[in-house]
Structure 1
Amino acid sequence: MRSLRTAGIVASVAAIGIVTIGVMQRARSSNELREWTEANAVPSVVVAEPKALGIGNGLQLPGRLEAFSNAPIYARADGYLKTWYADIGTEVKAGDLLALIETPDLDQQLAQARANLLRVEADARLAETTAKRWQAMLGTEAVSTQEVDEKAGDYAAKKAAVIAARAAVDTLAATQGFRRIVAPFDGVVTSRSTDIGALISAGTSNNGPALFTVANTRKLRVYVQVPQSYMPSIKLGGEAELSVPEHAGRKFKATVQSAAGTINARSGGGLVQLVVDNADGSLLAGGYADVKLLLPANANGVAIPASSLIFAREGLQVATLGPDSKVLMKPIHIDRDMGKSVEVTGLQAHDRVIDNPPESLASGDRVQLAAEKKTDVANKS
């Protein structure tokens, strides 16, 4: 009987212990659940560090390289190509002989014009002598005033014929001078579209391709279509950097020389011309270039990721993280859209901008940093 009572007491104590342990475990689980719920109720955010615009950011655009001077050379005299002296790739100086044309028809025309000049000069001399003699006899009754005037008029007509004949000779002689095809400036021959014995016709592109093309490639022009919103930032003398596929990693310095001052309706951009030195011949005229225009910076602006922008009814905003881990909305104005990043005013470099903010985020909300991660805007530009 006594042993049964002892066993009952032990069982009762064990039951009370089990109940107590269960209650404690449930309380602990409840606390943990509450703490987990409260922790997950606070949104986790990633902070982006604004980049102060101490220097101008670059505007990356495609460009086209062109020779500083480029001259297709056509014949000014008909004939046959006698010989040529410069092929593609030949460096030439201004006035260097590129080719020589045989002009048999022109030679005959010039000889005929010179003979005609001699004839009209002889006629003019005879008319002059006759006019003087008749003028001397005007005081006698041998000739009339009318006849004297006729002789003087004939002499004047003969003098005019001499002038016309001499002009014809000079024209043909000048045309004959075009038998020599010469380089118009220092440069390099980039094309030759003729050969010995080829029939040459004077004219322009309507008569066929140019005989030669000479280009000055010691300096190159770079043409870029700049978006309309950036045109006011383009200043004459501004700097730029360009790179080309054939020289990976190498940067070439260029200078803004001029701008068209109009916007192309098709592209929505304005044509800007830059000049780059090419004394070593590294750059190829007609090629593609990746141009980075170094635009002047806004001293009051910063660069932030484009993904941090909030388009609200109140206007364009960004969410910043205050020292108390609460959200503060700040209105901003976009100065330049650089694609992945934007240059804005309305923020300071020390502001902690929330990147990819949740749609439900509002000013005053409490947030926490996600694993203490920060987004550097330099990695997003």
Structure 2
Amino acid sequence: MTSEVETPPTDSAPTTGARPTKTALHTLGVISLVVLAGLAGLVVTGVRARSAAVETLARSAQDGAALRVSVVHPMLAGDQEDLVLPANIQAYAETPIYARTHGYLKRWYFDIGSHVGKGDLLAEIETPEVDQQLAQARADLKSLQANLELARTTADRWNGLLARHAVSKQETDQAVSDFSAKQAAVDASMANVRRLEELQGYEKVYAPFEGVITARQTDVGALIDAGSSPRELFHLATTRKLRVFVAVPEVSAGSVRNGAPVKLTSDQFPNKTFQGVLVRNSNSIDPASRTLNVEVDIDNSAGELLPGSYAFVHLRVPGSTKAWEIPSSALLFRAEGLRVAVVRGAQAELVPISIGRDFGARVEVNSGLRPDDEVILSPSDSLVTGTPVQIAKAARK
């Protein structure tokens, strides 16, 4: 009988439910730490991103609440200032042309825009009534002249007879008086003939001076009435030389000097400057506007400037070295007085000022500003002290 011997198990054969070794546990721990570290990093990154987003949103909200403004620094006034004032351009000479006789317009020779010389024929008028009156007056004159010759002969005859004592002195005086009366009647008739001839001469309308026809108010066949309310036929203006009238503020009136050169600009020619001369001023301040009326003459031989246009006159006036200048658009007119808005501590502050001379686009500030002040340009009428502001643009001095 053979006996069976049991063989013990070897180490190479795994056993179900065996515990993990130390190496496996170490590896598992490392992997767990890596996973936890990654999760912690994701959490931190998310928190930081959210915090940055909140800060950005808060900053955007703050920027949106602040009023964006443009600012400029006050500029020290110089020795000479360019005073820019609005002005009106007028023709050097202009006049309406009326008829001096009754009738109908027969023909006109020049229309609007036409250049005419002195003495040019502008129009002709038919005057049938005046022509008939003149013919009658001339006939009456001839009749009176014939009676005058008879009266002269009679007076001479009676004077001769009186010298021989053939007639009485009374009869001679009557003959001489009749001659004198007829002489006066002839003189009156001649004056009437000359008057009608003058009226007939007005049938032709001439230009009184060289210029341009700016208006024509009549046409062929129109009734011409030279009565108390005559109708204008043409309007004539001289444009080779122009008058420019400008109102200078009272504060700068003392700087006006006749004969001083003046520059003129127009919006019609933005890149061109015209030269003129200050020829005269009114030597008195208008009590209504507190300004001095000044006339500047401009040579317009090229015909570029037009009468009735709007322009700007540039006058050089002495400056004040103790004053500051700011744009006129920075001024705020409030019930409590004149103010400007300045930026101080990211807020607007309304500062009271006193101004000197007004140069049009700029004004002179005598007190209330510092050289480092940031003056807000074109502030809103609703702007008050304490309004949050943000400087969008700093204008050049």
Shorter-chain TM band: 0.5 to 0.7
Note if contact 1:81-1:199 (Cα within 8 Å) is conserved in structure 2: yes
Identical positions, percent: 42
The secondary structure found in structure 2 opposite 1:88 is: coil
The secondary structure found in structure 1 opposite 2:145 is: helix
Question: What CA distance in whole angstroms lies between the structure 1 residues aligned with 2:75 and 2:284?
Answer: 38
- Candidates 312, 324, 329, aligned match of 1:304: 324
Note if contact 1:50-1:304 (Cα within 8 Å) is conserved in structure 2: yes
Question: What CA distance in whole angstroms lies between the structure 1 residues aligned with 2:261 and 2:197?
Answer: 50
Call closer, same or farther: CA 1:303–1:144 in 2, change over 3 Å.
Answer: same
Question: What CA distance in whole angstroms lies between the structure 1 residues aligned with 2:225 and 2:202?
Answer: 12
Call closer, same or farther: CA 1:49–1:213 in 2, change over 3 Å.
Answer: closer
- Candidates 259, 262, 268, aligned match of 1:240: 262
How many equivalent residue pairs?
Answer: 280
Note if contact 1:74-1:203 (Cα within 8 Å) is conserved in structure 2: no
Asked whether 1:214 is paired with 2:201, we answer: no
Question: What CA distance in whole angstroms lies between the structure 2 residues aligned with 1:166 and 1:335?
Answer: 71
Q: Which residue of 1 aligns with 2:364?
A: 342
Structure 1 residues without counterparts, runs of 5 or longer? 1-45, 308-332, 345-352, 358-374
Amino acid at match of 1:197: G
Query: In the TM superposition, what is the alpha-carbon distance from 1:279 to its structure 2 partner?
Result: 0.6
Asked whether 1:281 is paired with 2:298, we answer: no
TM-score, normalising length: structure 2: 0.64
Call closer, same or farther: CA 1:335–1:47 in 2, change over 3 Å.
Answer: closer
Question: What CA distance in whole angstroms lies between the structure 1 residues aligned with 2:219 and 2:306?
Answer: 26
Question: What CA distance in whole angstroms lies between the structure 2 residues aligned with 1:77 and 1:114?
Answer: 19
Question: What CA distance in whole angstroms lies between the structure 2 residues aligned with 1:127 and 1:337?
Answer: 83
User: C-alpha deviations, 1:163-205, integer Å up to 9, x for none?
Assistant: 111111111111111111111111111111111111111147x
Question: What CA distance in whole angstroms lies between the structure 2 residues aligned with 1:125 and 1:302?
Answer: 93
Query: In the TM superposition, what is the alpha-carbon distance from 1:244 to its structure 2 partner?
Result: 1.5
Asked whether 1:50 is paired with 2:76, we answer: yes
Query: In the TM superposition, what is the alpha-carbon distance from 1:125 to its structure 2 partner?
Result: 1.1
Question: What CA distance in whole angstroms lies between the structure 2 residues aligned with 1:49 and 1:234?
Answer: 24
Query: In the TM superposition, what is the alpha-carbon distance from 1:239 to its structure 2 partner?
Result: 2.0
Note if contact 2:74-2:326 (Cα within 8 Å) is conserved in structure 1: no
User: C-alpha deviations, 1:120-173, integer Å up to 9, x for none?
Assistant: 111111111111100001133431111111111211121122211111111111
Call closer, same or farther: CA 1:237–1:343 in 2, change over 3 Å.
Answer: farther
Note if contact 2:75-2:324 (Cα within 8 Å) is conserved in structure 1: yes
Note if contact 1:227-1:270 (Cα within 8 Å) is conserved in structure 2: yes
Query: In the TM superposition, what is the alpha-carbon distance from 1:354 to its structure 2 partner?
Result: 3.2
Call closer, same or farther: CA 1:253–1:303 in 2, change over 3 Å.
Answer: farther
Asked whether 1:251 is paired with 2:268, we answer: no
- Candidates 92, 97, 114, aligned match of 2:121: 97
Q: Which residue of 2 aligns with 1:356?
A: 373
The secondary structure found in structure 2 opposite 1:254 is: strand
Query: In the TM superposition, what is the alpha-carbon distance from 1:289 to its structure 2 partner?
Result: 0.7
Note if contact 1:256-1:275 (Cα within 8 Å) is conserved in structure 2: yes
Note if contact 1:52-1:302 (Cα within 8 Å) is conserved in structure 2: no
The secondary structure found in structure 1 opposite 2:170 is: helix
Question: What CA distance in whole angstroms lies between the structure 1 residues aligned with 2:150 and 2:181?
Answer: 12
TM-score, normalising length: structure 1: 0.67
Call closer, same or farther: CA 1:264–1:341 in 2, change over 3 Å.
Answer: closer
Call closer, same or farther: CA 1:239–1:86 in 2, change over 3 Å.
Answer: same
Question: What CA distance in whole angstroms lies between the structure 2 residues aligned with 1:250 and 1:203?
Answer: 48
User: C-alpha deviations, 1:346-374, integer Å up to 9, x for none?
Assistant: xxxxxxx73439xxxxxxxxxxxxxxxxx
The secondary structure found in structure 2 opposite 1:131 is: helix
**What do you get for the CA RMSD once the two structures are aligned?**
2.9
Asked whether 1:130 is paired with 2:147, we answer: no
Question: What CA distance in whole angstroms lies between the structure 1 residues aligned with 2:365 and 2:176?
Answer: 87
Call closer, same or farther: CA 1:228–1:254 in 2, change over 3 Å.
Answer: same
Q: Which residue of 2 aligns with 1:25?
A: none
Query: In the TM superposition, what is the alpha-carbon distance from 1:243 to its structure 2 partner?
Result: 1.4
- Candidates 198, 221, 227, aligned match of 2:222: 198
Note if contact 1:188-1:215 (Cα within 8 Å) is conserved in structure 2: yes
Question: What CA distance in whole angstroms lies between the structure 2 residues aligned with 1:48 and 1:189?
Answer: 50
Q: Which residue of 1 aligns with 2:213?
A: 189
The secondary structure found in structure 2 opposite 1:172 is: helix
Amino acid at match of 2:206: V
User: C-alpha deviations, 1:77-110, integer Å up to 9, x for none?
Assistant: 1000111100011111001111100000000111
Asked whether 1:67 is paired with 2:91, we answer: yes
Q: Which residue of 1 aligns with 2:192?
A: 168
Note if contact 2:76-2:321 (Cα within 8 Å) is conserved in structure 1: no
Asked whether 1:140 is paired with 2:164, we answer: yes
